[in-house]
């Protein structure tokens, strides 16, 4: 029985990924991104710099013949730059059919966070917004900041990257 006879298969796969997050750290904070965006996790590799891109865009890598821009999530979040080490890795995500590498301090695990433990981020003062945070996941006594992958780069930034390649 072929998969083409099972239209519900895609829905089952989507359900299997629902509320599953790849958890990574930047310093003391832990973040999560929906597993459905993640294509793979690779070790740090040589990054070719491209001039005149924002500081947080470190450059490009060649991943099995595919050129992928990589961004340093620390710099994107305006955190202090840190020397890369053997725990540093690149999470390759796919946003609207564009692959992007996210450089993070380390990857921890894949977690399933039940719907009832995912809450909206607190409202900050007017004028202060954290567009990167989609929601907050409560895991035991800890919180995981769940990112909105589609807002890590603006439309304009995605266009700049596509033009640079």
Helix residue spans in 30-133 (DSSP H): 73-76
Neighbours of 58 (CB within 10 A): 20
* Rounded average pLDDT over 27-34: 92
Tens-place pLDDT, residues 43-61: 999 999 988 888 899 999 9
Which residue range(s) make up the domain with 111? Answer: 20-164
Average pLDDT, the chain: 84
Within-domain flag for 11 = no
131 occurs within a structural domain:
yes
Mean predicted confidence (pLDDT) in 4-21: 64
Q: Could you tell me the pTM of the whole model?
A: 0.84
Tell me whether residue 6 is in a domain. no
CB 35 within 8 A of CB 41: no
| Cβ atoms within 10 Å of 161's Cβ, excluding its own | 20
- Tens of pLDDT, residue by residue over 57-88, are 999 999 999 999 999 999 988 898 889 999 99
Find the range with the poorest average confidence among 15-19, 22-26, 122-126, 135-139: 122-126
Residue of 146, 150, 165, 157 lying closest to 37 (CA atoms)? 150
153 found inside a domain:
yes
Tokens 């796969």, residue?
A: 13
Within a domain: 3: no
Total domains, the chain: 1
Whether 52 is covered by a domain: the verdict is yes
5 belongs to a structural domain: no
Residue 93 falls within a domain, yes or no? Answer: yes
């Amino acid at each position: 029985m072929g998969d083409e006879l099972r239209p519900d298969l895609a829905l089952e796969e989507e359900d299997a990924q629902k509320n599953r997050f790849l958890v990574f750290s930047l310093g003391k904070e832990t973040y999560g991104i929906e597993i459905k965006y993640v294509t793979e996790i690779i070790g740090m590799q040589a990054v070719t710099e491209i001039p005149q891109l924002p500081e947080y865009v470190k450059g490009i890598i060649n991943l099995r013949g595919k050129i992928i821009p990589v961004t340093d999530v620390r710099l994107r979040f305006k955190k202090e730059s840190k020397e890369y080490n053997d725990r540093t890795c690149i999470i390759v995500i796919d946003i609207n059919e564009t692959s992007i590498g996210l450089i993070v301090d380390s990857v921890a695990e894949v977690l399933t966070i039940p719907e009832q433990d995912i809450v909206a981020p607190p409202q900050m003062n007017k004028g202060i917004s954290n567009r990167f945070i989609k929601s907050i996941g409560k895991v035991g006594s800890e919180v995981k900041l769940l990112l909105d992958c589609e807002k890590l780069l603006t439309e304009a930034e995605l266009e700049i990257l596509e033009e640079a390649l």
